[in-house]
Amino acid sequence: MKIIKVWNDNPSDRQLQEIVNELEMGAIMIYPTDTLYAIGCDALNVKAIDRICKLKGINPDKTNLSIICSDLSQVSEYARYDNQSFRLLKDNTPGPFTFLLKSTSSLPKAFKGRKIVGVRIPDCATIRAIVDLLGRPILTTTIEYADDDYAINVDLIAEAYDNKVDFIIDGGDGDTEPSTVIDCTLDEPEIVREGKGKLK
């Protein structure tokens, strides 16, 4: 399995293009975020989504899937939100939050069962640059790990996921705290999981 070392604040154009080329061919990857390392793929590639769902044991009819977007403009292509939710996203992104929003018809069938999509704009330059270059979101789901060492150490993550993903982006040590999840599909936004993010 390939490990691509990326300097988070300044990813090279060559590396970004290499990663995007792999994703366009249906690859699945492990990559850094502003919280835990995550598993991801092109969010519009149905076969890659299916691989991740099988790897994680996810039933998309019963579980809200999440995507990473590069900015609020891209979010509006794939999710609907009202003025209140827009202000919440604007004030708290990029950052360690997942916002549950009503999905649009632009997402593949795997997302349609729940009609809700989790949206992240993480404070991680590498993954936002990848999404921007790809031109569409990345499906995202956190890695599973036995203890904190396996959450933050790329060598241990690579050992645990050998032959399960196509490549890993090494952005240095990860975090052990997940994102804060806010449900914006209710009358009033509600925190449904406390995590790293603190709302402004």
pLDDT in tens, 140-178: 999 988 788 888 899 999 999 999 999 999 999 989 999
pLDDT at 8: 60
pLDDT of residue 154: 93
Please report which helix (H) or strand (E) contains residue 155, including its range: helix 154-160
- CA dist., res. 184 & res. 101, Å (int): 6
Q: What is the pLDDT of residues 109-146, one digit of tens each?
A: 777 667 899 999 999 999 999 999 999 999 999 998 87
Angstrom distances, CA of residue 140 to CA of 9, 30, 50, 186, 188? 21, 9, 13, 23, 25
- Please answer whether residues 58 and 52 qualify as being in contact, where contact means their C-beta atoms are separated by less than 8 angstroms: yes
Go through the domains of the chain in sequence order and give each one's CATH number: 2-193 (3.90.870.10)
pLDDT digits (tens, 9 = 90+) for 68-115: 999 999 999 999 999 999 999 999 999 999 999 999 988 887 776 678
The predicted model scores a pTM of: 0.94
Distance CA 65, CA 139 (A): 7
Q: CA gyration radius for the chain?
A: 16
pLDDT of amino acid 193? 97
pLDDT band at 9 (very low <50, low <70, confident <90, very high): low
Percentage helix, strand, coil for the chain under 3-state DSSP, each rounded to 5:
30, 25, 45
> What's the pLDDT tens digit per position in 37-59?
999 999 999 999 999 999 999 88
Cα-flanking dihedrals φ and ψ of residue 99, to 5°? Answer: -105, 125
Higher per-residue confidence, 62 vs 69: 69
